[in-house]
Amino acid sequence: MTVLVLSVSQYEWLNKREQSIKLVISNHTSYPYDAFERRISTYFNNAYFDSLCSEDPSTKALLSFVDLRCNERMSQKYCALPEKKKMQCDTSCPATKGNSNFTAFDLMICCPSEELCKSGIDASCPYHKCRVGILQELNRWAAPTIVAARFVIALMAFILILSCLLICYNPRDEIEVELLKTGVMSVEDVVAIRRLKESNNVVMKRGSKIDAESLETLKEAQKAKNFGSFRRMRRNRVSPTNSVEGTYT
């Protein structure tokens, strides 16, 4: 039940996220960053600046994504330059600290600036320059994730229905079986109780009533059966004297 509730809530979150991503892709200049994009931008900005001038093979995947999805001026070929050339690009752009003219920074084809990005100018951050490409990649993965969430919800609902049917189908254990499971009674006690039930059980149709005459007849038949068994035991009994005499003859 808990997994089903979590799956439904996750499915609703994915649906809302997919809709918001599509809105931002259609007109990214009109929608500010939400909490989800803030987290993504922080991770992407740090990863981009760390991998830009790094020789670590693990950064190749990110740089390949930048070359494929982002602005050409964000690639390692243009932006992984000596420090002096990068500073020249930064100073040539009018988007310096305290300047709110972010559009001018975009128009000037400058590489992302780590210094300006950390100072709070989003237009100088790599995520801002590659916002549409990143959201398009997320939207590409959103569709199969939503399909998987639907499958999990259907599977959990099916398992829940089967569990309810199984509970209703299985009959309740008898009291002696429950006591046997808890260790209160032994197997011998259960066998003895069932034999006692079978000997005292009167089989009758549902809705029929037993009267006094039928009960007396049943008692007489039980007495006769017991008396016949006693006579047979007496008849088949072997005398100790006869047994001894037969041995010595």
**DSSP 8-state class, residue 173:** P
Task: Tell me the pLDDT tens digit for each residue of 59-90.
Answer: 788 888 888 888 777 877 777 655 544 444 44
Is 52 in contact with 163 (CB distance < 8 Å)? no
In terms of pLDDT, which residue wins out, 103 or 64? Answer: 64
Could you give the number of structural domains in the chain? 2
**For the segment 15-27, what is each residue's pLDDT rounded down to a tens digit?**
888 888 888 888 7
Structure confidence at residue 241 (pLDDT): 45
Structural domain including 202 reads: 176-239
Nearest to 63 by CA among 140, 130, 141, 136: 130
Residues 130 and 27 in one domain: yes
Is 41's pLDDT higher than 80? yes
Task: Answer whether 80's CB lies under 8 Å from 52's CB.
Answer: yes
pLDDT, average across residues 36-55: 86
* 132 domain-assigned: yes
- If asked whether residues 116 and 197 sit together in one domain, one would say no
Q: DSSP strand E in the chain: where?
A: none
Residue 187's pLDDT is: 76
167-to-3, 162, 174, 185 alpha-carbon distances in Å: 19, 9, 16, 25
Encode pLDDT of 151-171 as tens digits: 888 888 888 888 888 777 766
133 lies in the same domain as 188: no
* Residue 129 and residue 83 share a domain: yes
Q: Residues 102, 7: one domain?
A: yes
The answer as to whether 161 is a domain residue is: no
Q: Are residues 123 and 40 in the same domain?
A: yes
- In the numeric block, which tokens belong to residue 118? 């950390």
* Inside any domain, residue 100: yes
Residue 133 lies in a domain: yes
Which value, to the nearest 10 degrees, does the dihedral of the CA atoms of residues 95, 97, 102, 104 take?
-10
Asked if residue 11 is part of any domain, the answer here is yes
Q: Over the chain, what is the mean pLDDT?
A: 71
| 48 and 128 co-located in one domain | yes
Examine the domain organization and report whether 126 and 207 are in the same domain.
Answer: no
